[in-house]
Amino acid sequence: MLYRENGQFKTDYRADQQVFPIKQDRIAIGLLMAFAVIGVPLLADEYLFRAILIPFLILSLAALGLNILVGYCGQISLGTGAFMAVGAYAAYNFFVRVEGMPVIVAILLGGVCATAVGILFGIPSLRIKGLYLAVATLAAQFFWDWAFLRVKWFSNNSTSGTVSVADLSLFGVRIDSPVGKYFFCLAFLVIFAVLAKNLVRSHIGREWMAIRDMDVAAAVIGIRPVYAKLTAFAVSSFIVGVAGGLWGFVHLGSWEPAAFSIDRSFQLLFMIIIGGLGSIMGSFFGAAFIVILPVVLNQALPAFGELFGVTIGTALIAHTELMIFGGLIVFFLIVEPHGLARLWSTAKEKLRLWPFPH
């Protein structure tokens, strides 16, 4: 009743092609943004910022980047952690080695370096497909894990690749409070989400999707596979690299290569699959799910144990967490293989007809 587009006439192309063609959607997204900017800083405490909100924002950004590659262009990548690491370490090097380098520029330059690496490791995708490609991208993961650990130059001669950044400031304003960090990440996420949304709606996004659906057919109708695949790798690894920079600079502050291990790659892949492949919205859902689930399990399990009068040790909690996490992932894949984004759009379809079934 409330959510329908009756009476919203579009009189020009601009109105017809906007990102949110339905008025209620525009209002909802406006309210959501207002809540994110005004409501959240008022309501959330420091723990919530550190443990959930900031990781959620940064990992959504990374998932968004990965979704462009996997969800829109159909090239499976298990090297996301490596691209994040390249972004983080490159940003670190720019930040430390160049006098007076602003944080934003350093992070963006980190993204540029990740782009270069992404294109380099994307070249095999021109020949290799599917699972073979997935394993081939693992080469990037293991190579960069090793490089940041062993090649001292990357980590400014620190032992075991550990680096740290302090004194983040933006136009002279320090951003070390949780709220400041939150806004910093939120700004990045919103800007990149808008850019990505518009990119996948444009001709290049359609080329990616054509390649994903059937690359031979796409080549036949005149889409250049080389160009389409490598741009997908470039855009994706740029966003992922920026997310890596944020993860290192803003969330961790000091990090070692293990922060971007293969587990991170799997985690991001889980996000986009649970969230929904080929959906910008899905990246957010997936990131929220994967970030919040361990926190909830961590809190709930000991309480659950007390209910039955058993104390659950930390090792057991860790293992049970693994079990539940794995089980839930399988469960989700079985129940909704197209991810939470599909549930969301089904819900919207239903809502349009509500309360009348026809």
The residue (of 54 and 145) whose beta carbon lies closer to another protein is 145
Q: Does 151 bind another protein (CB under 8 A)?
A: yes
- Beta strands 163-164 and 254-255 are antiparallel
Pairing between β-strand 173-174 and β-strand 254-255 as defined by DSSP bridges? unpaired
Q: Work out how close the CB of 341 gets to another protein at its nearest, in angstroms, rounded to a whole number.
A: 14
131 near another protein, rule: CB under 8 A:
yes
Q: Among 136, 185, 243, 259, indicate the residue that binds another protein (CB under 8 A).
A: 136
Rule CB under 8 A: is residue 307 a binding residue for another protein? no
Q: Does 329 bind another protein (CB under 8 A)?
A: yes
The least distance separating another protein from the CB of residue 220, rounded to whole angstroms, comes to 7
**CB 319, min distance to another protein, A:** 4
Interacting residue with another protein among 15, 105, 322, 353 (CB under 8 A) = 322
Interior/surface letters 109-134, b for 16+ CB within 10 angstroms, e for the rest: bbbbbbbebbbebbebbeeeeeeebb
- Give backbone dihedrals phi and psi of 32, rounded to 5 degrees, phi first: -60, -45
Least distance to another protein from the beta carbon of 19, Å? 27
Q: Which of 262, 281, 301, 343 binds another protein (CB under 8 A)?
A: 262
Task: Convert residues 276-305 into a mask of x (bound to another protein by CB under 8 A) and - (unbound).
Answer: -x----------------------------
Cis amide prior to 21 (ω within 30 degrees): no
DSSP-assigned states of every residue in 240-309: HHHHHHHIIIIIISEE-GGGGSHHHHHHHHHHHHHH-TT-HHHHHHHHHHHHHHHHHHHHHHHHHHHHTT
Count of positions on this chain that bind another protein (CB under 8 A): 49
Cβ contacts of residue 188 below 8 Å, gap of 6+?
Answer: 57, 61, 242, 246
Of 310, 266, 261, the closest CA to residue 286 belongs to 266
Interface with another protein (CB under 8 A), residue from 96, 223, 316, 343:
316
Report if residue 252 touches another protein, rule: CB under 8 A. Answer: no
Complex with another protein: residue 174 or 224, whichever CB lies closer:
224
Give the residue among 29, 102, 18, 72 at the shortest CA–CA distance from 239. Answer: 72
Based on the shown chain and the rule CB under 8 A, indicate whether residue 313 belongs to the binding site for another protein: no
120 binds another protein per the rule CB under 8 A: no
Q: Which is nearer to another protein, 188 or 289 (CB)?
A: 289
| Cα gap 194→125, rounded to integer Å | 27
Exactly one of 57, 62, 76, 165 binds another protein (CB under 8 A); that residue is: 76
Can you tell me the distance from the alpha carbon of 65 to that of 178, in angstroms, rounded to the nearest whole number?
24
Q: Is 124 in the site for another protein (CB under 8 A)?
A: yes
- Which residues lie near another protein (CB under 8 A)? 70, 76, 124, 127-132, 134-136, 138-139, 142-143, 145-146, 149-151, 214-217, 220, 262, 266, 269-270, 273, 277, 315-316, 319-330, 333-334, 337
